[in-house]
Structure 1
Amino acid sequence: MSAAVGAAAAGAGQCLVVSGEAGIGTSRLLAEAAREAAARGVAVAEGRATELDRLSPLITLVTALGSGTAPVLDEPDRAELAARSAVPYRQTALLSERIAAYARSRPLLIVLDDVQWADEVTALMVRSLVPALSDARVLWLLGGRPLPEASVMRAAVEGLVEDGARSLAVGPLSDEAVEELATHTLGARPGKGLRDWVAGAAGNPFLLQELLWALREQGRVLVEDGVARVTPGALPDGFRARVARRWRHLSPAARQLTEAGAVLGRPFTVHEAAGVMGVPVREMTAATEEAVAQGQLVAEGPLLRFRHDLFRQAVYDNLTTPVKHALHREAGSVLAAEGRPAAESATHVAFGARRGDAQALRVLRDAADGIVGAAPGTAADLLIRLVELGDPGDPDRPDHVCKALAALSFSGRMDEAMELGEAELAAAPDPTALATVRHGVAAALKFAGRTPEVLTLVDLALADEGVPPVNQAQLWSLRAHTLVDGGLAAGEDPGCAAADAAGDEAVRLGEAAGVPAAVTSGYTARSRAALAAGRVEEAVVLAERATAVAEHSGGEARWHAPRRWLGEALAVSERFAEAEAAFDLGQREAEQLGVPWAVPRLRGHRSRLWLAAGRLAQATAEAEATLNSALALGTPPTAQATRALLARLAIWRDDLASARALLTTARKFAEGGVRVAVDELLLADVLLRDAQAAGDQEAADPGDGLWAILPHWIRPLCYEPGLGPELVRIALRAGLPEQAERAAEASRLLAVRSPRLASAQAAAVHVDALLSGGPGGLRRAVGLWRSAPRPLALAAALEDAAKVTADRDEALALWEEAFTLYGTAGARRGAARARQELRVLGVRRRMPRSADRQAEGWGAITPSEMRVVRLVADGLTNRQVANRLFLSRHTVDAHLRNVFAKLGVSSRVELARLTAVHLAETGAPGTPGADVTEGTSVGGS
């Protein structure tokens, strides 16, 4: 650890995770590291989590960054963080900027102790900030006890270690060290009998000292000839009793103070402790001085904390249950009056509550509703307690269970969700309650991507004739979406007729029962089913209806985020600018409504939009951000679909190793029960197999999964009609004419069902031309592709035409255009093929340096590049820009290289000057430093 501090003083950042059991000395090690760092001129930001930190999002990290004589965060920064609480990734961006800016002036050590109790948002931020600031002069020391499975910090720490953070386990003292400590404590070397007693401390220095002090104070240690021996007798009444004995030396008021602090469970004020005990503050002032002087408590500004948490636990454990209940109830009232977070107050109220306590139930419900968006895990704990305290016959109980199931699922606690759901299913008193709980369990399963189980549970609920129309509407909408998401995995009709019928029933029942959320969800499911079947125009109409219902009714209907499906339908219909506007508005609405799970899905849709428009760099950056967000939020279905998309993007870029790794991970999740995006994974697998075969027919093995669902399931072709010709090529290269015909028939079906979709008509002509092999049909396909906004599909058609053209000049022109289109898009694999063919024709071309390097001047700057330019001009580093826009640093570097070349500049200073002039001349909205994170028109500049 000393070496890490020395490296930090020299300007090298890293992360060190220090763990050990309670009392082992982890906190002492961190404190010594902080002292050494300060002595070396390193700024130190220290924070210690408490058990109740999980109730206050981001408090652990913010407290640390606000500590010290020169804190990293000031009051305006704290206020800005609070204002961004509904959008965690914006909080991440702000923290990253502030920490990086601070570290530029001097090295910084951030110490977080007892991280096993850190809140969820702190865990998420640490997981993001440590790798994001790896180049900054920041040393992170994360210390605490071994992290249990339920700890929100466990996944964060495991991810950091996988990324390269060092892990240091502080083990027990060796036998030699134990003997040395015992000798120092007792003034004599321990004899055999005492060594046997000492072995009971298992090398824990805190417990060892407590044991030795207890024995010595009881007069049980005798020193003879320099050897300490223990007199016969029983072991003192446990280490807990030994610790508790120390409190009996305090005055009654001081004992009251520590008891109140033990119940509060976190650093506390004298005012809070007095309130819990129901005494005037003045009666606690002398007690405070006493407890601090005796070393039981430590004063940190206006707060008091226990010097060692084992003391707090011992004091708390020695309170009788009735006393605990009474003090927790008082604590809840005091904290509510003090304006503390509702969740913290609710936890205390709930502890001291009895079944059916109306006040406690109301407090728990309100607190859970207030925190579920930012800390679903904590909300789940509150909701579970709400269910425990509620009367089994309470008519609101099924709704509470559903909310608890959703919160548990959202926080990744699927085992607990299933345990709660199964218990409630067995105890449901009537058909209505049973249907409500089944809906909650099924929704939780859907969140985890477990499609077959969802459909089984929904069908069981719908089979019950006593289910009210309200519940039926919700169940039918859930069934419809599940069929679209994973119907293939459940063996359902690949034409999506069943999904459409289920969505229609949800709309009918929802309208009759007055459930606009079910109506909205039913319409969006029908829109998605229409897309999967190739009825693009119908999909747009249905998505527009869903959006209109949600806008008119508001409330829960808007939580379904229908704009993401409207944007998807608009994108497929090639109304790209309208689609992106829908995605942008949908993302803003999701952030405002506190439904963070929708944000990565909207970003995933936007990534597909960039791919369709032939902007692979932007598509990859957006997809990477989508995957990171999905993993952070624990949404397996979104993560699976994004892995498939990223694999395909990697194939376009000729990065087959990345594609293999992504699909390998996806298969592991599929084997673990995440059965969604089956068609997309099958498609990516076929494309990767073909790419790896590299044109060798004997090595070609396109598999059989995808071909079996064609031509009826044509959803992938709706997103990208150019896939139809690509699949025909792959089948023909592998010598599989039947599979080629299946793919061709899928393209023909899409053209028939969507006659106004230009790319569908082009694809239908294209596949027939590939099957016939005639140049005339391929020329016609090229002409049709020119009228569709699909540059990659056009480039592929140009390739096909060039291969069968006898005229050298015509072939040269076709290859030249294909090379340019591939290079502009950043499709290195296609560009390499075209370049090789041009070389055969005697023409040498350099591989493109940038996917978007089309021209010079401001007119050539793409929307993504302009967002980067604005932030760089405001003084942000590349890493800060990457964090702000949720891009990879490599993407930001690429954007800047492109910008420098297009504008003819060679420095960031010059770029900032030109940007200021450009914005002033054009009257462009915003300033160089504007927080521009939303997308802009695909076609704009």
Structure 2
Amino acid sequence: MDRSQQPWPTDGAGGVQPPGSVDRRGRLTRSGLRGREAELEALQALIASVARTGSGGLALIQGEPGIGKTTLLAEAVSEARAAGFSVGVGKADELHHIVPLSSLAASVLHGDQPLLSGDAFADLARNHDQRIWLVERLAEAIEDRAGSMPVLIGLDDVQWADPLSRFALKQLPTRLRTSPVLWLLTARREPAGPAEEVVAAATGNLPTVTVPLGPLSGAAMDQLVGDTLGAAADEQVRDLLEGAGGNPFLAVEMLAGLRTAEASDELVPPGLVVGVRGRLRSLAPDTLRFLQMGAVLGRSFGFHDAAALCGRPAATLIPALEEAVRAGLLDDDGDHLVFRHDLLRQAVYVDIPPSARKALHREAARRLVSTGHQPIDAVPHILRGALPGDEECVALLQRVADDVLSVMPGLAADLMTRALDLVPPALPLRFTVGERTILSLTRAGRNREALSTGDRLLADRPPLEAFSRLQAALGGALWNMDLAGDLRRRTETALAMGGAAPEIGARLAALHALALSRDHDLVAAREAGESALRAATAVGDREAHILALSGLGEIAQNAGENAGALERFAALSAIDSAFLPEEIVAHLHVDDFASGERLLSQAAEQAGGMRQAMMLWAQGQYDLGLGRLDDADAGFMTMERLEDEVQTPVQQVNGRVIRSRIALLRGDREAAREHLAAARERLAAKPNPGNTAAVRFLEAVHAEADGDIGRAVDRIRQVQREGRFMRWRLLRDWVDSAIRIALRGAEHELAEDLAAQAEAHAERNAAVPTATGIAAQALGLVKNDLAMLEHAAELLKAGPRPLVRAAAHADLGQALLAAGRKRQAAAALTQARDTFAESGAHAEAARVRRALEGAGAGSRRAVTKQRPVQGWEALTASEKKVARLVAEGHTNRSAADLLVVSPHTVNTHLTSVFQKLSINSRVQLANVVMALPDS
């Protein structure tokens, strides 16, 4: 068994000591369990619940150091193992809290049956690109094990978990809530600390229990005295234990110190120092020095590393090591030495003078690097010991920041910010480090901090070349913050000043073109983009090439030149597959859904390199275009969740606008209003013109539904003030709705303007049936031209979008009714009604049905009824597919592979299934499916 899995110390001969015994070093075994009966019962109940229900759970054991958290965790782990759980337990370390996934790795690699082999975990780490993908792979491994037995994953000292482990712990319990996975965590009490964040993320999604450990009662403390001294506590001992404050570890250490003092006839001073410093004073000077060097290295350290810090050959320190182990201060697991408790290490560490500590940490960093340790192992020592002007430390921080940027951009930004602080203002190195700091902050989504950092550096009047580099580095932050005007001014200034290296000049030109994509003069923007692309190609700079293609793609899309946009985005994704979502959406804009489907399948196979949230945006657009409203809604919901998880809100405004529109089509006015409110809220954080236009249009649609046509028309005019309606690509397929609003409001001139825009868009996209069909439909509505509406319906037959066809047939049917051609009208309206109903657009289907009934036309086909709220029939078609696959034993990944969707989307469907069926485990789901008549 791995040392980290061992619930309590052995007796020295390999056996496990009985509860309540005292080992030969004076340590009380399982002392934390004295007085912890109620807490243990709470954990036992949660263990039993997970095993019985087949659903997840989470418990957090909290308390001060030494209060018994680790011992209680060990006892709960033992109970779970006896109950048939597959168990993995790890411990976070204070001085290794930045190594990516190091904390959680111990939990999945250790145990009787590790969840992942060392090789598999190493391969996972090597092939990571994004946090979401990495966490999903961990979820799959845990889910696979949980399919055959309940799983317990424990992590001690979560307050020291590395950022990637903390990220995973906030996602995994909820992601795996439908599987029998129990998470047991311990942490010190810290307001708004990592442990509280994990519990908050899980609360409401699965059973959570917080187990606070307070001071032991007087009766429990008396039991400790009997366990340790073999006799009842007398008055002197009770007075002594007052200094322990009910902390079992400190009490046992004091009692052990008392035994030592009695044996040596020494007076034992009261308080904490009795148990620790009292023993330290009895150690040989070499042993104390050795312990101090170990305390600098961390709770777990290498013998040779500590010897090197002592400046002594390792062989000469073997007696010191042996004495430290005999004194009960260190354990030796064969690979590392470990302080038996964090409090012991801290007691040794605080006795080192602060100035000496800093020097020792600097020396430890150099030692670790020189002996072949990973650079990241030296970083905690650099953070504690580096002095301004230490360029070696700056270089090491930069190297580690580069290594962790893809999975922990926040940590990379922190490291680069620290590196920048270490560079004195007078050194030219400051601008080089500053450039990388800006890029790291931007990657971490800390755009305002990136901008303020850049402006501080620019205020130091850097040389022209450094000035240009800093302005180029700020481009991403300015774009993310929707400061296109500022980006334009800065790039123009930098380009005018000159002095930039060729590749930086090419990047500045490309960023300038990207900024111009938001302007009204898209002809000038295109010229700037073409020039930037030529410059990028000439200098061979990949970053400039990507920026130029991205700018040209944005310009083409904003100009409505869909074929040109596709050309640019296809070239862009050929350079970097991370831009595949943009290429997929560009294919959809030219009605090429076959290519979109092919690329979505391709992306599912290589999800590690994808931008997961943007890929879900592309999937949602694909489903929406094909009239799969349920799937589109689930996709956009999942996209928003993933954007929230990585704190990069890109498409949340548009996602909510679409979801509100979907809800209106379904007839769910309450959900539609909720999405509108959310869209407005997100617009306040990202108020670019496109987002503003989308929300104003949505407000117009809501106003029309509420019967307030004047307000609806006003909102359409507001869209026009942001830019011509067809400028906003999200709205192009909805121009017919805007025209109907204008006509209902007797705003014929506005309706004509909108129709003219649709016609101009169709001329730019003559090969796209949706574009030409909508233009004909718009003209037919404005002119009340029956022939033109018939032409529109005919054109849209060649297009792939059923909801667009249905709207055109509904308009045609109404016109035919007005012309007295009831038979033809009934055919067009029936087709519209059925198409709306098949897509789940029940409100639109009902509207068309009323038109049919009003005309006295019969119904050849019954209208699909709206789904109930609860029960099997409340499930969408996709949810039923997922439910059946999971009931058959499929994991999220295997179900996703069969359905050719993202595992994240499967998780969204499964969450909805559990809510609608009022169940909380896969076992219960299997029982529901088995009971169905057609199963």
TM-score, scaled to structure 1: 0.77
Give matches, 1:768-787, under 5 Å.
768-787=779-798
Aligned residue in 1 for 2:288: 255
Match of 2:544 in 1: 518
Equivalent position to 2:473, from 413, 426, 440: 440
Whole-angstrom distance in 1 between the partners of 2:607 and 2:144: 30
Structure 1 pair 374–391 and aligned structure 2 pair: CA distance change class (3 A)? same
- Call closer, same or farther: CA 1:73–1:620 in 2, change over 3 Å: same
Q: Write the distance in 2 (CA, Å) between the matches of 1:813 and 1:406.
A: 59
Give the equivalent residue in structure 2 for 1:886: 904
Instruction: State how far apart, in whole Å, the 1-side matches of 2:879 and 2:206 are.
Output: 31
Structure-2 residue corresponding to 1:938? none
SS of residue matched to 2:89? strand
401-410 or 882-891: which moved more?
Answer: 882-891
- Partners in 2 of 1:116 and 1:295 — Cα distance? 25
- 2:33 is aligned to none
Post-superposition offset of 1:148: 6.9
Give the superposition deviation at 1:449.
5.1
**Do 2:638 and 2:905's aligned partners in 1 also have CA atoms closer than 8 Å?**
yes
Name which of 807, 814, 838 aligns with 2:828: 814
Q: Judging changes above 3 Å, is the alpha-carbon distance between structure 1 residues 880 and 482 closer, same or farther for their aligned structure 2 residues? A: farther
Q: Is 1:411 aligned to 2:444, yes or no?
A: yes
Counterpart of 1:110 in 2: which secondary structure? strand
1:312 to 345, 350, 367: 345
Range that drifts further, 240-249 or 97-106:
240-249
Paired with 1:784 and 1:96, the residues of 2 have a C-alpha distance of: 47
The answer (yes or no) to whether the contact 1:443–1:454 under 8 Å persists in 2 is no
- State whether structure 2 residue 314 is matched by structure 1 residue 297: no
Match of 1:316, as an amino acid? Y
Q: 1:889 to 1:390 in 2, by over 3 A?
A: closer
Structural mapping, 1:758-907, within 5 Å:
758-806=769-817, 807-837=821-851, 841-843=857-859, 845-847=862-864, 875-877=889-891, 881=895, 885-889=903-907, 891=909
Paired with 2:127 and 2:275, the residues of 1 have a C-alpha distance of: 47
Instruction: Say whether 1:631 aligns with 2:651.
Output: no
Question: Is 1:161 aligned to residue 203 of structure 2?
Answer: yes
Please list the CA deviations of residues 243-287 of structure 1 after superposition, one character each: whole Å capped at 9, or x if unmatched: 556534444454345334333335334455445545555556555
The structural deviation recorded for 1:313 is: 3.3
Question: Are the counterparts in 2 of residues 683 and 706 from structure 1 also a CA contact under 8 Å?
Answer: no
Residues 16 and 142, structure 1, Cα contact 8 Å, conserved in 2: yes
What's the CA shift for 1:793?
A: 0.6
Which of 113, 127, 144 pairs up with 2:187? 144
Can you list the C-alpha shifts for 1:673-707, whole angstroms capped at 9, x where unaligned?
Answer: 4334x524642553366357536356964652764
Is it true that 1:603 corresponds to 2:616 in the alignment?
A: yes
2:629 corresponds to 1:616: yes
Q: Secondary structure at the match of 2:155?
A: strand
* Pairing partner for 1:46 from 72, 78, 89: 89
SS of the aligned residue for 1:140 comes to strand
Percent sequence identity over aligned pairs = 29
Q: For residue 415 of structure 2, what is the amino acid of its counterpart?
A: L
Match among 560, 573, 576 for residue 590 of structure 2 = 573
Question: What does residue 675 of structure 1 align with?
Answer: 687
SS of corresponding position for 1:139: strand
Structure 1 residues 228-239: aligned runs within 5 Å: none
Task: Give how far 1:162 is off.
Answer: 5.7
Counterpart of 1:859 in structure 2 is none
Quote the Cα distance in structure 2 between the aligned partners of 1:739 and 1:583. 39
Which residue identity does 1:793 align to in structure 2?
V
Q: Is the 8 A contact 1:439 1:475 kept in 2?
A: yes
* Equivalent position amino acid for 1:725 in 2: D
Select 1:60's aligned residue among 103, 113, 121: 103
Letter in 1 for 2:686: V
From the superposition, tell whether residues 397 and 835 of structure 1 become closer, same or farther in structure 2 (CA, over 3 Å): farther
Q: Determine if the alignment matches structure 1 residue 370 to structure 2 residue 400.
A: no
Q: Does 1:126 align with 2:169?
A: yes
Determine if the alignment matches structure 1 residue 379 to structure 2 residue 379.
no
Matches within 5 A, 1:279-428: 279=312, 282=315, 287-298=320-331, 302-320=335-353, 323-325=356-358, 327-329=360-362, 331-332=364-365, 335-336=368-369, 340-348=373-381, 357=390, 359-390=392-423, 392=425, 395=428, 397-413=430-446, 416-417=449-450, 420-428=453-461
Change (3 A) 1:408 1:216: farther
In the other structure, the counterpart of 1:5 is 44
- 8 Å CA contact 2:255–2:275 kept in 1: the answer is no
Q: CA RMSD in A?
A: 4.8
Equivalent-residue separation in structure 1 for 2:728 and 2:793 (angstroms): 18
SS at 2:890's partner residue? coil
Aligned mates of 1:670, 1:368 — CA distance in 2: 33
> Are 2:131 and 2:408, in contact at CA under 8 Å, matched by a contact in 1?
no
**Structure 1: where are the runs of 5+ without partners?**
220-229, 488-492, 552-557, 851-861, 897-906, 912-941
CA–CA distance in 1 between the matches of 2:605 and 2:482?
26
Scaled by the length of structure 2, the TM-score of the pair is 0.77
User: Equivalents in 1 of 2:815, 2:200: separation in Å?
Assistant: 54
Q: Which amino acid aligns with 1:523?
A: L
> Gaps spanning 5+ residues in structure 2: where?
1-38, 263-267, 868-876, 915-924, 930-935
Change (3 A) 1:727 1:869: same
Contact 2:573 2:583 in 1 (8 A): yes
Report how far residue 421 of structure 1 moved. Answer: 3.4
Query: How big is each residue's C-alpha offset from its partner over 1:453-498, in whole Å with a ceiling of 9 and x where there is no partner?
Result: 65665566556565566444423433443564xx4xxxxx446456
Aligned residues of 1:805 and 1:811 also touching (Cα < 8 A): yes
Structure 1 residues 730 and 477: CA distance shift in structure 2, 3 A = same
Counterpart CA distance in 1 for 2:586 and 2:908 is 31
Which secondary structure does the structure 1 equivalent of 2:834 belong to? helix
Are 2:96 and 2:380, in contact at CA under 8 Å, matched by a contact in 1? no
Helix, strand or coil for the counterpart of 1:69? coil
Report the Cα distance in structure 2 between the residues aligned to 1:244 and 1:456, rounded to whole angstroms: 64
The amino acid across from 2:844 in the alignment is: G
Counterpart CA distance in 2 for 1:779 and 1:631 is: 45
- Match of 1:119, as an amino acid? D
Whether the 8 Å contact between 1:540 and 1:569 is mirrored in structure 2 is yes
Give 1:537's aligned amino acid.
A
1:34-55 CA-to-partner distances (Å, cap 9, x unmatched) read 3444455544432221134443
Taking a change above 3 Å as real, the CA distance of residues 476 and 241 of structure 1, as seen in their structure-2 partners, is farther
1:99 partner amino acid: I
Number of residue pairs matched? 849
Q: Which residue of 1 aligns with 2:145?
A: 102
> What is the rounded CA distance, in whole Å, between the counterparts of 2:89 and 2:785 in structure 1?
73
Q: Distance in 2 between matches of 1:451 and 1:247?
A: 64
Instruction: Classify the secondary structure of the residue corresponding to 1:776.
Output: helix
Within 1, Cα distance between the matches of 2:398 and 2:862? 67
Aligned partner letter, 1:55: I
> 3-state DSSP class of the match of 1:134?
coil
Structure 1 residues 640 and 188: alpha-carbon distance in aligned structure 2, compared to 1, 3 A threshold: farther
2-structure distance, mates of 1:153, 1:455: 44
Partners of 1:696 and 1:801 in 2: CA distance:
23
Q: Aligned to 1:887, what secondary structure does the other structure show?
A: helix
Is the CA contact 2:838–2:864 (under 8 Å) kept in the aligned structure 1? no
For the residue of structure 2 that corresponds to 1:111, the secondary structure is strand
Q: How does 1:67-82 map to 2 (within 5 A)?
A: 67-75=110-118, 77-82=120-125
**1:263-318 CA distance string (max 9 Å, x none):** 33353344554455455555565555544443333456744433332333343343
The answer on whether the counterparts of 1:659 and 1:688 sit within 8 Å (CA) in structure 2 is no
User: Aligned equivalents of 2:661 and 2:847: distance in 1?
Assistant: 17
Deviation at 1:112, TM superposition (A): 1.7
